[in-house]
Structure 1
Amino acid sequence: MYYPLQTPMYVPIRGYSSYMMRTEELVINLILQSIAGERNDELFYQELLQLAPTDKEKEVITGIRDDERKHRQMFRNIYTQLTGMQPAVQEAMEPAEHVADYVSGIEDALMGELKAFEKYRTIYLNIRPEYRNMIFEIMTDEIKHASYYNWLYAKNRK
């Protein structure tokens, strides 16, 4: 659930074209990480969903899981548009981490959503302007998810 972040490259090293090439590489690498991360989150939330004690909590987690699917597809589309190729990302069949228990799973999910937001902010600041609306939608969803997980954590913490 925690994503390694790369430092954005804002300062050109040898001219503008070199800067643009390095920035494009950064964005493409972060998008590939994001495709895999969104799939991993989807699988983690599917496990978390099985532990949810109420229908309302299941409904909230289901909505978040479905958003993760949408985000993965959006990142795949952006990658294809930027590179002209389909992303060569191995889709996970199980989450990298399994849910130990409901409350700690909620806590992990909350922290993962916030880390994802930080990564997506780096993408937003470095991607071509025509893709920023899609990245902005994903970023605002991640903050919404963090708010929901905060609510679930407060509701279930003992």
Structure 2
Amino acid sequence: MYYNLQAPTYVPFQGYLGYFARSEDMVLKVILQSISGERNDELFYQELIQLAPTEKEKEVIRGIRDDERKHNQMFRNIYTQLTGTPPTGIEATEPIEHVSNYLSGIESALFGELKAFEKYRTLYLNISPLYRDMIFEIMTDEIKHASYYNWLYAKNNR
């Protein structure tokens, strides 16, 4: 007896999107959340820089912080292009986290970068192809940041 097997249809992870999946409202909502999230990350990393024990570690975190600023601007540009108006009234979607100590801050940053990558991957799959290159750049930066934070964690957890 032979079975006719079909490959399963790929369905992107919907955990961050709820019932808005595959709609313009969802894309705009995620972009607004991302603008807020990138700003929160920038502020968190600024605090983390102050706790970094070496100049090299400060330099790495400064580079990540500067990328978060760039992402914030990219998301603002995408939102403006999609809606015709700049984003306004953006409130923090998550409470601003403060750094309690360097090692736990690095751990929190590492998991935050990975979580952001997952969210942006879903955005990438649902946004107009015109904006995918920008989202791809942001996604690859997030993975790069996670790698740097992994290195910082390993270096300081001996």
TM-score bracket, normalised by the shorter chain, equals: 0.7 to 0.9
In the TM superposition, what are the counterparts of 1:10-25 in structure 2 within 5 Å? Answer: 23-25=23-25
Q: Is the 8 A contact 2:32 2:90 kept in 1?
A: no
What's the CA shift string for 1:81-118, capped at 9, x where partnerless? 000111014377xx701001000000000000000001
1:9 paired to 2:35: no
Report the counterpart of residue 121 of structure 2 in structure 1.
Answer: 121
1:50 paired to 2:50: yes
Q: Distance in 1 between matches of 2:63 and 2:88?
A: 27
Number of residue pairs the alignment of both structures matches: 141
What's the CA shift string for 1:19-74, capped at 9, x where partnerless? xxxx1111000000000000000000000000000010000000000000000000
Q: Distance in 2 between matches of 1:72 and 1:89?
A: 15
Report the counterpart of residue 14 of structure 1 in structure 2.
Answer: none
Q: RMSD between aligned alpha carbons? A: 1.6
Which amino acid in structure 2 is aligned with residue 62 of structure 1?
R
Q: Distance in 1 between matches of 2:91 and 2:151?
A: 30
Q: Distance in 2 between matches of 1:29 and 1:47?
A: 28
Give me the identity figure in percent.
Answer: 75
Q: Distance in 2 between matches of 1:83 and 1:59?
A: 36
Q: Distance in 2 between matches of 1:116 and 1:61?
A: 17
Larger radius of gyration: 2
Q: Distance in 1 between matches of 2:83 and 2:35?
A: 15
Report the counterpart of residue 72 of structure 1 in structure 2.
Answer: 72
Q: Secondary structure at the match of 2:27?
A: helix
Q: Is the 8 A contact 1:27 1:127 kept in 2?
A: yes
Q: Distance in 1 between matches of 2:115 and 2:87?
A: 22
Q: Secondary structure at the match of 2:98?
A: coil
In the TM superposition, what are the counterparts of 1:59-138 in structure 2 within 5 Å? Answer: 59-90=59-90, 96-138=96-138
Q: Is the 8 A contact 1:57 1:152 kept in 2?
A: yes
Higher normalized contact order (CA 8 Å, seq sep 6+, divided by chain length): 1
Which amino acid in structure 2 is aligned with residue 117 of structure 1?
F
Q: Distance in 1 between matches of 2:133 and 2:102?
A: 34
Q: Is the 8 A contact 1:76 1:86 kept in 2?
A: yes
Structure 1 stretches of 4+ with a deviation exceeding 2 A read: 7-10, 89-92
Unaligned runs of 5+ in 1: 11-22
